[in-house]
């Protein structure tokens, strides 16, 4: 057992004792952080139990190899399978031991915007939102729409929403970038395949205590909300635009009929954008590591192609192609997101060995 594994297992026993202390619940912030750490360490402890169980079974099976007759042949077949499972368990454990980014456990704010392609790009933006929504539903996460700019055909020029739950950022952080779609648009009568693009940004959501935004640094403008074809126009000034003067970051929210609610949502988005900017500056080396793994996260970088005629999805950063686009668009995207996480962890492991 290596030193890092021993350290994790020792800490697991310590944290296990902490969560059994009733006094822990009196401090909700400490309780949440402790439970997050326990969940992470429990994964490692379970993996070690699996490794030890398989190793014991292999030892027993090797003993049977010394027997004669049918038992020897059966033991040989079983041994091959057990050794393969043990190698797989050890590889999985190795990835669990790689230090995780402290942001991985955070909730996110996701922004999807239609790019090249007009109405077809807006329709695909709506399709992407549905894909993420259905995946979130499977994971038991909660989605809240924060701002929406809808087209007359039911597409989205822009949609901003939050996703909260367990390790949301860890699972969806690599979605930032340009998503290209190739398909026959509903508006195309001749059957020609069009290429459109949508941009996605994934921002870890910051707590109020993590970002200090001074009231004097904000300019707040209120206005009437608008929608396609003059629809959804309020008779009161409920839409809010907040501009952070030092950084120039501006956020507009009009989804709620209440000015107070729109202001609260705009502040959450603003806080997340500024938090991301500060994280990028403070941790340039981590950003460079991500660039080497699965891309920079820049919205201008084309990260993925969705080819509907071929039912094909290709992620260009890890050279992954899946012929199950129909299922992925229905939210069955775990294979895709897991492959991105695995690639990032393997690259992180390689970096630690350099």
pLDDT tens, position by position, 327-347: 999 999 999 998 998 888 878
Cα 327 from Cα 323, distance rounded (Å):
9
Q: Write out pLDDT tens, residues 15-73.
A: 999 998 888 888 888 888 888 889 889 989 999 999 999 999 998 888 877 766 667 77
* pTM for this predicted structure: 0.72
- Are 209 and 191 in contact, with CB atoms under 8 Å apart? no
Query: What are the beta bridge partners of residue 194?
Result: 183
Count CA atoms closer than 13 A to 204's CA, side-chain side. Answer: 24
H helices within 28-165, ranges in order?
A: 28-64, 70-96, 118-139
pLDDT confidence of 283, banded at 50, 70, 90? low
Strand ranges inside the chain, DSSP E: 108-114, 142-150, 156-164, 177-183, 194-204, 218-223, 239-244, 249-253, 302-307, 312-315, 320-322
Cα 237 from Cα 22, distance rounded (Å):
49
pLDDT confidence of 76, banded at 50, 70, 90? confident
pLDDT confidence of 233, banded at 50, 70, 90? very low
Q: What is the pLDDT of residue 50?
A: 94
Is residue 253 pLDDT above 60, yes or no?
yes
Q: What is the pLDDT of residue 304?
A: 96
Most confident range (mean pLDDT) of 84-88, 137-141, 288-292 is 137-141
- Are 83 and 90 in contact, with CB atoms under 8 Å apart? no
Average pLDDT, rounded, for the chain: 85
102: number of Cβ within 10 Å: 11
Largest CA distance in the chain: 89
Q: What are phi and psi of 217, to 5 degrees?
A: -90, 5
Tokens at 237, concatenated: 């000034």
Rounding to the nearest 10 degrees, give the CA dihedral for residues 110, 113, 115, 120: 110
The more confidently predicted of residues 256 and 180 is 180
Is residue 172 pLDDT above 90, yes or no?
yes
User: What percent of the chain is predicted at pLDDT more than 90?
Assistant: 45
Most confident range (mean pLDDT) of 2-11, 54-63, 291-300, 317-326 is 317-326
What is the bridge-based pairing of β-strands 177-183 and 194-204? Answer: antiparallel
DSSP state of 61: H
């Amino acid at each position: 057992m290596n030193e890092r594994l021993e350290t994790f297992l020792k800490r697991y026993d310590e944290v296990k004792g902490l969560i059994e202390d009733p006094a822990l619940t009196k401090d909700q912030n400490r309780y949440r952080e402790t439970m997050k750490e326990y969940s992470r360490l429990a994964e490692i402890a379970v993996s070690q139990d699996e490794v030890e169980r398989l190793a014991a079974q292999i030892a027993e099976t090797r003993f049977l190899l010394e027997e004669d007759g049918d038992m020897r042949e059966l033991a040989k077949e079983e041994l091959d399978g057990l050794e393969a499972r043990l190698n797989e368990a050890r590889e999985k454990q190795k990835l669990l031991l790689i230090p995780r980014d402290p942001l991985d456990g955070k909730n996110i704010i996701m922004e999807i915007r239609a790019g090249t392609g007009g109405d077809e790009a807006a329709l695909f933006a709506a399709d992407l939102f549905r894909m993420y929504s259905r995946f979130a539903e499977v994971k038991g996460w909660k989605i809240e729409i924060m701002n929406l700019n809808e087209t007359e055909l039911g597409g989205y020029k822009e949609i901003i929403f939050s996703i909260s739950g367990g390790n949301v950022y860890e699972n969806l952080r690599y979605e930032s970038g340009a998503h290209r779609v190739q398909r026959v648009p509903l508006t195309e009568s001749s059957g020609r395949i069009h290429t459109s693009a949508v941009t996605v940004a994934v921002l870890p959501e910051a707590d109020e205590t993590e970002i200090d935004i001074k009231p004097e640094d904000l300019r707040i403008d209120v206005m009437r909300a608008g929608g396609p074809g003059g629809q959804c126009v309020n008779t009161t000034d409920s839409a809010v635009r907040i501009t952070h003067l030092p950084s120039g970051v501006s956020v507009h929210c009009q989804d709620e009929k209440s000015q107070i609610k729109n202001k609260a949502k705009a502040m959450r988005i603003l806080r997340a954008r500024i938090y991301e900017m500060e994280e990028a500056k403070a941790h340039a080396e981590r950003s460079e590591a991500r660039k080497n793994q699965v891309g920079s996260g820049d919205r201008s970088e084309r990260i993925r192609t969705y080819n509907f005629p071929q039912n094909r999805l290709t992620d260009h950063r890890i050279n992954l192609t899946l012929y199950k686009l129909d299922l992925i668009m229905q939210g069955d995207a775990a294979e895709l997101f897991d492959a991105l996480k695995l690639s990032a962890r393997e690259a992180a492991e390689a970096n630690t060995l350099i």
